[in-house]
Amino acid sequence: MKRHLLILVELAHEHHASLELAGFTVHAASSVAAWRAQKARVDVQAVLTNGSIGLSTDEISALPALEIICALGAGYENIDLTAAQARGIVVTHGPGTNDASVADHALTLLMAIARGIPQADAAVRRGEWKQARQPRPMVFGKKLGILGLGNIGMQIAQRGARGFEMPVAYHNRKPRNDTPYRYCSSPVALAEWADFLVIATPGGGQTSHIVNAEVLDALGPNGFLINIARGSVVDTPALINALQHQRIAGAALDVVEGEPTVPPELVRLTNVILTPHIAGRSPEAIDATVQLVIDNLLAHFLAEPLLTQVISGDNVT
């Protein structure tokens, strides 16, 4: 018997087809409410979402046959785990599927903002060759601070240390005993030490605005901020103010609080690089993420152990 799967995230046609081939009847909608308005008589047993979209208490309540929620990617901060647990609904996510892609993008953003690549390109296209030939900081040997040394943070650290001989430090809730990197006791201490501060934490309430005005001031006028995690980790008005007054040198952001809406004050700044939450969107990463979703769905409905079940309380590095 085919199970009904509601997809709330953007997926290519071939991935819809893969889920159908795996034995699921696929329904796509922008939200649970939109789907119920169209197909109220169909009971779905599974939902595919992600950490940013999530699945709320009300949405879970609106799906009486729901058995499993799969988060596409590592994050699951906006899935109501308490509501799911109360119903006996299992939740899975996708750690390890897009780590390399996100780490690649983090280093790309770091190099691009340090060397002013988009700004220089735009200047040359405007015919401002001489005006754009301003000195820009090197990356080699500079201090790399990582806020959140999980799977992605570790890959960023390794790329920086091996490729650019960067000293690496990090901040987590607790020090790791399996890494040679320096531990800083707070985000402020990490920012004071770092030339480049890369945010690689999960999202959610426990990390909301932990990069605030104090952290940005500690990073200083020669420091750069790179965020490939969640926009909610950064106090956006504080960041805009710091950039406007050159209290930090620049920022490169793949995620923005309230995305896809971007504050116009941020868009107007020339010391910012913005990409549309694409760090994990390589073909290789997407294929691996979708395959893990399929594997978890099949395991659940065959009453086999899940591969990557979420355990409540584990979403903060």
pLDDT at 316 over 90: no
| Whole-number percent of the chain with pLDDT over 90 | 90
Q: What is the CA radius of gyration of the chain?
A: 21
Identify the active-site residue in 36, 136, 247, 277. Answer: 277
Residue type, 280: G
Sign of the dihedral through C-alpha 279, 283, 284, 290:
positive
Q: pLDDT digit string (tens) for 224-267? A: 999 999 999 999 999 999 999 999 999 999 999 999 999 999 99
Question: Is 171 among the catalytic positions?
Answer: no
- State the pLDDT at residue 40: 62
Identify the active-site residue in 67, 192, 214, 259. Answer: 259
Q: pLDDT digit string (tens) for 156-181? A: 999 999 999 999 999 999 999 999 99
CA-angle at 74, arms to 70 and 76, nearest 5°: 60
- Within the chain, strands assigned E span 3-7, 24-28, 46-49, 68-71, 90-92, 144-147, 168-171, 182-183, 196-199, 224-227, 250-253, 272-274
- State the pLDDT at residue 36: 83
Q: What is the C-alpha separation between 315 and 49, in angstroms, rounded?
A: 16
Identify the active-site residue in 93, 230, 281, 300. Answer: 230
pLDDT at 315 over 70: no
Question: Is 277 among the catalytic positions?
Answer: yes
Cβ pair 247, 220 in contact under 8 A: yes
| Nearest to 118, CA basis, from 259, 250, 238 | 250
- State the pLDDT at residue 35: 86
Question: Is 230 among the catalytic positions?
Answer: yes
Q: How confident is the model at residue 42 (pLDDT cuts 50, 70, 90)?
A: confident
What average pLDDT does the structure give for the chain? 94
